[in-house]
């Protein structure tokens, strides 16, 4: 069953222990930054009125990054995390172009750069059945806003909260349906709905890889048709010349040929 995280923005106090725990777990250099980059997989976005929003990879159910990667260096694990394999990566940066949440980052300063993004502590924790470093730190030392668990259970919990406290929560679970659903989900305060917190609320509910697939799956259909047409045209047009050569005198043939060219 896929693991997931739920961030209840109403409970977040902006202490930042999540980002610190992430740095330690993933051995990322430097102090905690304000923007996601190669050394910061998760950061806090300040939205005023003591509202803080965590930014991190959403671990989409049908990840755009993995679908565009030509070599499958990014892939979705059955446990939920979307992980990265540097050995396969060719550094084309299509994943950065395509991710609807602007998550994958690059080691621009290095001659041989890696793609860097949150991998939901896949190797060190999820595989062993442990919760992510950020959620554990948040529950134990922070404000207790980031929860870890089964996606279905967290989703049920989110809806329960909205139903029981309609005055506290905006009536939407961000990540339930966005781009086909994500494994990181958010709850927003009633007076600060997601639009006002710089969430992209215009994303379609259909998974984006479907857009490309609708094009690519036509290829096996088009190729035989197109090949038949081209071969047929070749046969037709060259046969015309052949017939003309056998039946007419040279002069007539030349005239006819001239007409044929102008169509």
Quote the CA–CA distance of 202 and 1 in Å, as a whole number.
29
Q: Which of residues 15-34 bind ligand SF4 (CB under 6 A)?
A: 15-18
Stretch that binds ligand SF4, among 58-66, 148-156, 217-225, 235-243 (CB under 6 A): 58-66
Among 22, 43, 65, 119, binds ligand SF4 (CB under 6 A): 65
Q: Decide: 183 and 6 in contact? Cβ < 8 Å.
A: no
**Binding partner of 213, given ligand SF4, another protein, none, CB within 5-8 angstroms per partner class:** another protein
**Binding partner of 203, given another protein, ligand SF4, none, CB within 5-8 angstroms per partner class:** another protein
User: For the range 208-212, what are the long-range contacts, defined as Cβ-Cβ under 8 Å and sequence gap of 24 or more?
Assistant: 208/62, 208/64, 208/67, 208/98, 208/100, 208/179, 208/180, 209/62, 209/63, 209/64, 209/67, 209/68, 210/62, 210/180, 212/67, 212/68
Q: Which of residues 86-125 bind ligand SF4 (CB under 6 A)?
A: 89-95, 99, 101, 103-104, 115, 117
Cβ neighbours around 134 below 10 Å, total: 27
**Binding partner of 238, given ligand SF4, another protein, none, CB within 5-8 angstroms per partner class:** another protein
Within 13 Å and on the Cβ side, how many CA atoms surround 175? 28
Within 13 Å and on the Cβ side, how many CA atoms surround 100? 24
Binding mask 190-219 for another protein (x = CB under 8 A): ----------x-xxx---xx-xxxxxx--x
Q: Decide: 22 and 134 in contact? Cβ < 8 Å.
A: yes
Rounded to 5°, angle at Cα 47 from 118 and 9: 60
Among 96, 124, 149, 193, binds another protein (CB under 8 A): 96
Stretch that binds another protein, among 21-29, 84-92, 143-151, 186-194 (CB under 8 A): 84-92
DSSP 8-class letter at 40: B
Q: Decide: 2 and 78 in contact? Cβ < 8 Å.
A: yes
User: Which residues contact another protein (rule: CB under 8 A)?
Assistant: 36-37, 64, 66-72, 88-94, 96-98, 100, 102, 105-106, 108-114, 200, 202-204, 208-209, 211-216, 219, 222-223, 226-227, 230-231, 233-234, 237-238, 240-241, 245, 250, 253-254, 257, 260-261
User: Which residues contact ligand SF4 (rule: CB under 6 A)?
Assistant: 12-18, 44, 52, 54, 57-60, 63-65, 68-69, 71, 73-74, 82, 89-95, 99, 101, 103-104, 115, 117, 137-138, 142-143, 145-146
């Amino acid at each position: 069953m896929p693991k997931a995280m739920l961030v209840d923005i109403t409970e977040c106090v902006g202490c930042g222990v999540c980002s610190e725990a992430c740095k330690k777990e993933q051995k990322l250099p430097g102090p905690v930054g304000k923007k996601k980059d190669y050394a910061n997989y998760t950061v806090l976005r300040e939205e005023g009125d003591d509202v803080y929003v965590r930014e991190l990879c959403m671990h989409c159910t049908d990840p755009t990054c993995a679908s565009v990667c030509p070599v499958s260096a990014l892939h979705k694990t059955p446990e939920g995390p979307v992980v990265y394999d540097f050995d396969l990566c060719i550094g084309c940066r299509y994943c950065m172009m395509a991710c609807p949440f602007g998550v994958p980052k690059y080691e621009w300063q290095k001659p041989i750069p890696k793609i860097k993004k949150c991998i939901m502590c896949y190797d060190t924790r999820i595989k062993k059945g442990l919760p992510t470093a950020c959620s554990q730190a948040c529950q134990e030392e922070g404000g207790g806003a980031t929860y870890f668990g089964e996606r279905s259970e967290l989703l049920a919990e989110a809806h329960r909260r909205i139903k029981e406290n309609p005055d506290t929560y905006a009536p939407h679970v961000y990540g339930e349906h966005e781009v086909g659903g994500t494994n990181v989900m958010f709850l927003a305060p009633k007076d600060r709905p997601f639009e006002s917190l710089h969430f992209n609320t215009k994303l379609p509910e259909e998974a984006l890889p479907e857009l490309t697939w609708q094009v690519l799956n036509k290829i096996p259909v088009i190729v035989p048709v197109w090949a038949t047409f081209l071969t047929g045209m070749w046969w037709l047009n060259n046969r015309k010349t052949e017939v003309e050569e056998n039946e007419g005198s040279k002069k007539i043939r030349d005239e006819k040929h001239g007409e044929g060219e102008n169509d």
